[in-house]
Amino acid sequence: MVNLARKNLLHDKLRFAITVSGVAFAVTLVFVQVGLFLGLLDNASITIEKMDADLWITAPATPNVDFGQPFPETRVQRARSVPGVLRADNLIVGFMTVSLPTGAREGMVVYALENFGRWGVPWRLDAGRLEDLGRGQYMVLDDAATRRHGAFAVGEYRELQNQRLKIIGRSREARSFTTTPMAFVDFRRAQDLNPDDLAGKTTYVLVKLEPGADAAAVRAELQRRLPYNDVLTREEWAAKSRSYWTESTGIGLNMIVTVFLGCIVGVVIVAQTLYTSTMEHVKEFGTLKAIGGSNGDIYRILGEQALIAAVVGFVLGAVNARLIRPAIEGLDLKMIVPPDFAVIVFGGTVFLCLAAAMVSFRKVANIDPMLVFRS
């Protein structure tokens, strides 16, 4: 039956190519769309996950990490006084304007701490020393700025909020959801850059717990002492930052619709080609039933044809997505395809191809074995 299914499917090579191309198109679309979506979500929470903080103290109802709201920086003292807290520091995250050598003005996400080293951010530093940030008008700029702002070198200057800062370091992999370039400056420098909003203020307090501390108890005490703030775990804050972009911007719905349409295209192509092939071989199927073959035997043939189309189409689609990936990364985008997701896509491909074959199943179920003896 397997050989018969394969020979039947490969009899018309053009139709077979069209079938697997439809499956490959759908698979490629799913991999690229979902991979880009997962990459963007990773950007939305990457600094939260890399930061060596167990708890985040935010202004009430802050939607995500990029949109920090100022509150008095003195509240960090209350956090430091809570039993079980190993250390706590203020963190400023905000959008600022940078003037480029070309005269253009662009946005930039600025992260500001008094001691970057103790919190592990930035996590990949190719040049410069973080401890030098507090010694002058300095900044560390992420390499992602190259695409949006043009090439830069350590030692050059940029005007940030109309103040001239020297680039003393280059980081990598620090991205925001919007792909806006990221810079790192000293905490006091950030306050000086935007005194109207940040003088005496912070946007977050980072909390590191002592080893063995009861996280729930410490969190409850922090919330009691800071009733006008929200206290979130790292996991909660990362999930909240990601959900903001998926729910508030509609990007999640757009991704689902695009993937759904791609799957529909693949199913329609497979269903159409298998049905056409079945109609062209209806007398052969009638012969099979006339010599004692059952509907189940024919179902297996059609199912094996669908399975072959699914496997070949999946492999081609996965290869296409792999080949496209460098071009996507060249656009300063990230495509993440976890192995378990690839398994899910393969299972979905097989299921949809078998579902498409159901159209042919219904047709062969009504084949009259006497058809073969008619002129």
Grouping H, G, I as helix, E, B as strand and the rest as coil, residue 189 is helix
Sequence spans of domains, the chain: 2-43+250-373, 60-228
Q: Token digits for 163?
A: 């103040």
The pLDDT of residue 372:
54
The pLDDT of residue 5:
53
Q: What percent of the chain is predicted at pLDDT more than 90? A: 43
User: Look-up: residue for tokens 């930061």?
Assistant: 51
75: nearest Cα among 63, 57, 62, 60:
57
- Do the Cβ atoms of 142 and 182 come closer than 8 Å? yes
Burial profile 335-360: b = 16 or more Cβ within 10 angstroms, e = fewer: bebeeeeeeebbebbbebbbebbebb
- Do the Cβ atoms of 98 and 149 come closer than 8 Å? yes
How distant, in Å, are the alpha carbons of 16, 288, 290, 366 from that of 297?
22, 9, 12, 14
Grouping H, G, I as helix, E, B as strand and the rest as coil, residue 41 is helix
Length of the chain: 375
Q: Terminal CA-to-CA distance of the chain, rounded, Å?
A: 27
Low-confidence stretches of the chain (pLDDT < 50) are: 1-2, 375
Rounded CA-CA distance 268/233 in Å is 46
Q: Which helix (H) or strand (E) holds 326?
A: helix 295-330
Strand ranges (DSSP E) for the chain? 55-58, 71-72, 85-99, 105-113, 125-127, 138-142, 157-160, 163-171, 182-186, 201-202, 204-209, 230-233
What is the three-state SS of 221-245? HHHHHCCCCEEEEHHHHHHHHHHHH
Rounded CA-CA distance 207/89 in Å is 7
Q: Give the predicted TM-score (pTM) of the model.
A: 0.78
What are the contacts of 105-108 at 24+ separation with CB within 8 A? 106/148, 106/149, 106/181, 107/180, 108/145, 108/160, 108/180, 108/181, 108/182, 108/183
The pLDDT of residue 138:
94
- Do the Cβ atoms of 165 and 318 come closer than 8 Å? no
Q: Which residues contact 107 (CB under 8 A, 6 or more apart)?
A: 95, 96, 97, 98, 180
Q: Which helix (H) or strand (E) holds 371?
A: none
**What is 132-160 written as a DSSP string?**
GGGGTTEEEEETTHHHHH----TT-EEEE
Rounded CA-CA distance 73/201 in Å is 5
Rounded CA-CA distance 62/66 in Å is 9
- Do the Cβ atoms of 306 and 356 come closer than 8 Å? yes
